[in-house]
Amino acid sequence: MANVVVIGGGLGGLPTAYELRHYLPKEHTVTLISDKPQFTFIPGLIRVALNLNPLNHIQLDLCQLARRQRIEWVAGKVTALDREKKEITVEQDQTVKYDYLAIATGASLAFDEIPGLGPHGGYTQSVCTPDHALQARDAWLEFLENPGDLVVGAMPGTGCFGPAYEFVLMADWELRRQGIRDKVDITYVTPEPYIGHTGVGGIKNAQKLTEELMAERAIKAIANARITHIDPQNITLADGCQLPFKYSMILPSFRGVEFLRKVPGLTNEKGFIPVLPSQRHPDFPSIYALGVGVHLEQPDKTPVPIGLPKSGEMTEAMGVAVAHNIAVELGAIKSPLTKPTLELRSCTSSEKNQNQVHLTRV
């Protein structure tokens, strides 16, 4: 009987484990491994950083959820993967064997590419992890006491722009609510080729509507920006422009997580996993991948490099396809292999052809 292992208990891994349990008869085991004891609803971290929700509002206990769903739960960080032995090492000393593997480990954050970037010894905040959001919230509370310039944006290579737009617009709203908006100059700085591109070019009216939204709120926006370094008071761009700040939230670009990059032939040079339309690795038939850790090509060639967003919606669609296809491989269901649609936004059916983005995987 097979053991199907899912690594990562986030927006991709948890639904994938649920779907696997739904598809597979009892004799097969589903095992979920995660380095964090909680599931975190990542989109909610922006509200945590702006002190609008406590962190525990967006977290659930993974051990309890797994038990309730008859999923085996292993707590710990995966440090190695031996694909010949089909064996995973957790925290150096525990090993877990798999017949099929679904990798949903999300991203590691490339703060080290820009001096002064990020909360680990740098000068800017992040909302990408629960720890970052808590640190960003402490800094935000100090900023409300002693306001000044606010700079929000993303570094070159970022694919995920939605959270930066959400943060800057919610920060504007919160500063108005606190009655101190007149004390804060807000700048949005981005490698996108134009405001409203969001990593997905060609969405009807997005540029006009987003530019209007920013202008109405007196948010200065700078596109095609390449941040080169950050010191305690200023963000410097490649053209020499300096943006002073008292508070700044800059999204980093992403890489695949560390242990994946050490497995020969598993990932590309950035640590992202190539997949076939079925979400299976092209060379390793027992390995599937989903979510932010998957390689998707950015189709637009932009003056400053950007990635392609891998949204939670896309991640869940990939997870459903992964579970379905592993169940087909194990003979638990009789059906052709499926592929996720990976639409990058919802739109009316008449707009669909115009707005659907062509995604290249392998």
Ligand X SMILES: Cc1cc2nc3c(=O)[nH]c(=O)nc-3n(C[C@H](O)[C@H](O)[C@H](O)COP(=O)(O)OP(=O)(O)OC[C@H]3O[C@@H](n4cnc5c(N)ncnc54)[C@H](O)[C@@H]3O)c2cc1C
Residue 315 interacts with ligand X (CB under 6 A): yes or no: yes
Q: CB–CB of 110/307 below 8 Å? A: no
Q: Which is nearer to ligand X, 190 or 236 (CB)?
A: 190
Q: Which is nearer to ligand X, 1 or 80 (CB)?
A: 80
- Which residue in the set 128, 155, 206, 235 belongs to the binding site for ligand X (CB under 6 A)? 128
Tell me which residue of 103, 63, 66 sits closest to 83, measured CA to CA.
Answer: 103
Q: Which is nearer to ligand X, 13 or 274 (CB)?
A: 13
Please state the φ and ψ torsions of residue 170, each to the nearest 5 degrees: -70, -35
Position with the least CB separation from ligand X: 10
Residue 104 interacts with ligand X (CB under 6 A): yes or no: yes
Please state the φ and ψ torsions of residue 116, each to the nearest 5 degrees: 90, 0
Q: Minimum Å distance from CB 23 to ligand X?
A: 19
- Which residue in the set 2, 4, 5, 12 belongs to the binding site for ligand X (CB under 6 A)? 12
Residue 257 interacts with ligand X (CB under 6 A): yes or no: yes
Q: Which is nearer to ligand X, 113 or 313 (CB)?
A: 313
Q: Minimum Å distance from CB 313 to ligand X?
A: 4
Residues 31-90 that bind ligand X (CB under 6 A): 33-36, 42-43, 45-46, 77-78
Q: Minimum Å distance from CB 298 to ligand X?
A: 16
Tell me which residue of 281, 352, 288, 291 sits closest to 317, measured CA to CA.
Answer: 291
Residue 8 interacts with ligand X (CB under 6 A): yes or no: yes
Number of residues that bind ligand X (CB under 6 A): 35
- Residue 170 burial by Cβ neighbours in a 10 Å radius (0-12, 13-18, 19+): middle
Q: Minimum Å distance from CB 277 to ligand X?
A: 18
Q: Which is nearer to ligand X, 41 or 180 (CB)?
A: 41
Q: Which is nearer to ligand X, 201 or 319 (CB)?
A: 319
Q: Which is nearer to ligand X, 24 or 33 (CB)?
A: 33
Residue 120: count other Cβ atoms within 10 Å of its Cβ. Answer: 12
Binding region for ligand X (CB under 6 A) out of 160-168, 172-180, 261-269, 273-281? 160-168
Residue 267 interacts with ligand X (CB under 6 A): yes or no: no
What is the separation, in whole angstroms, between the first and last Cα of the chain? 31
| Angle ∠(161,164,166) on CA atoms, nearest 5 | 110
Residue 130 interacts with ligand X (CB under 6 A): yes or no: no
Q: Which is nearer to ligand X, 31 or 325 (CB)?
A: 31
Binding region for ligand X (CB under 6 A) out of 18-26, 102-110, 170-178, 324-332? 102-110
Binding region for ligand X (CB under 6 A) out of 299-307, 311-319, 326-334, 349-357? 311-319
Residue 300 interacts with ligand X (CB under 6 A): yes or no: no
Q: Which is nearer to ligand X, 120 or 183 (CB)?
A: 120
- Which residue in the set 127, 151, 317, 344 belongs to the binding site for ligand X (CB under 6 A)? 127
Q: Minimum Å distance from CB 165 to ligand X?
A: 10
Query: Applying CB under 6 A, which residues contact ligand X?
Result: 7-13, 33-36, 42-43, 45-46, 77-78, 104-106, 127-128, 160, 162-163, 257, 259, 291-293, 310-313, 315
